[in-house]
Structure 1
């Protein structure tokens, strides 16, 4: 007699994103997959694969409650895994950040993890000890230099990583295993879904090197980033183990980011500066400031 399929709920499964790629890979690995998104018209890829979808706006209490009712109805009140994937990017130098917009990003990338987890905890507890809480963070949560000019995003992912560590300790007695999924550079439409249009303000202190600074702001996707389908296949294999690692590192550049944790602060600045374009911007700023100083003399 075959064992029943494990059920996974994934948030943020719009077409072209990592959530959609994860859903397709979980489906291929014979999990029962429940995908969710705020706008279901953007979930054509998972729907075409025959994957069940439900509406879930992680910022809406009523939407979360409706999703819990629907998942309870579909599964009989048991959920083996929830993957917190819903989120957005934010690109802007900290000196130019609109704090109100930054708070909106934290609501999505951080606080929604708490509210959605709280709502689905009864279903996860019913699946214990075969229950997983997966929080999708980023390599930049550990080394912010991986994404310069993304300080607000980096901070939100660092906060999410802190939540993962706390949930890991607090939920362990109830048979729920918490995993921090630290992703590097993956080729998706993530850059197009940023909260803020990454255009440098006219009065920015970086305007003296506007062209070079704009390259840094646009460089959220690393050249030769990991293929989303391949990344998702690796992640699903990791999560399908009997006891997945507490921290899972996948995606382009995660190895140097992991190594950075053992090196002195700033040891990889030169390497990442070349990849992101930050070094060229710094050079241009120094040239302009030196020229202004020479004129003043």
Structure 2
């Protein structure tokens, strides 16, 4: 999809192998001028090889955000994408890890958007917040991640309402299952990664639970990041983009589950993830 007037698009979290990188390529191929950013520019070599402009932006660092704002003079679309996941039964959650996740998945979105807001006011631009279907469906053993995405879904709704007076559009990108390096990153950056704590309530079903924590149950539903990104970009670049974009494997299923009665949604979700079997294992004397 080509666009007539070249749009300036800034995307956070564009390390190679991630969803941000896939979005950067899709916007670039659609004719936009892309500013692909990441905490470590050395991890964007594939994007640099395609001629995409890259620079440092650590969304957790106010000075880095301020420096990034000074690098551009015009911005049409801001894509808040940088983020991480955290899979762990609620009883084993590390509050430290939980706070770190909210700092990245929630407060960085707020800080980055506020910093680039003057440019978006000038262009009457678009804010795209990459949330997740997990923000509306209770995916088991990732309560903190789900909560962080639910928070951004709520913030997106308020941004849309409050910024409409200034001509700014807000897109809530509810992403489903997409192939990326997000689970590998969790193992590398978090204390226990996808391993249960010793003495966990779930130790009798350790193998079954850790399989869910690793994302094994959704791997077969994951679509290619390039396909997901092309779909997303084609919708964001519409003259009037949708308020909500549901994209990725299981996105349609997530949309349906979100509309069902809670008891039915819970039953179907638990069945899909094998939670009923885990419950039987845990109930054995």
- TM exceeds 0.5? yes
Q: Which residue of 2 aligns with 1:210?
A: 206
Q: Which residue of 1 aligns with 2:131?
A: 137
Shift of 1:4: 3.8
- In 2, distance between residues paired with 1:275 and 1:56? 38
User: What is the aligned residue count?
Assistant: 278
Q: Using the TM superposition, name which of 205-214 and 168-177 deviates more.
A: 205-214
Structure number, greater radius of gyration: 1
Q: Which residue of 2 aligns with 1:37?
A: 38
Shift of 1:3: 5.0
- In 2, distance between residues paired with 1:17 and 1:266? 34
Q: Secondary structure at the match of 1:178?
A: strand
Q: Secondary structure at the match of 1:33?
A: strand
* Aligned-residue RMSD, C-alpha: 1.4
Shift of 1:148: 1.1
Q: Which residue of 2 aligns with 1:166?
A: 158
Q: Which residue of 1 aligns with 2:112?
A: 116
Q: Secondary structure at the match of 1:88?
A: coil
Deviations 1:214-255 (A, max 9, x none): 112122643131111001000000001000000000011111
Matched, 1:150 2:142: yes
- In 1, distance between residues paired with 2:26 and 2:212? 32
Q: Which residue of 2 aligns with 1:74?
A: none
Superposed, 1:80-119 pairs within 5 Å as 80-119=76-115
Output the TM-score relative to the length of structure 2: 0.94
Deviations 1:179-235 (A, max 9, x none): 100000001111112253110011110112112121121226431311110010000
Deviations 1:103-152 (A, max 9, x none): 01100000011111110001111111xx10000000010112xx311110
Structure 1 segments unaligned to the other structure (5+ residues): 72-76, 293-297
Deviations 1:128-179 (A, max 9, x none): 1xx10000000010112xx311110000000011110111111111110001
- In 2, distance between residues paired with 1:275 and 1:46? 36
Runs of 4+ in 1 over 3 A off after TM superposition: 268-271
Residues 221, 250 of structure 2: 8 Å contact kept: no
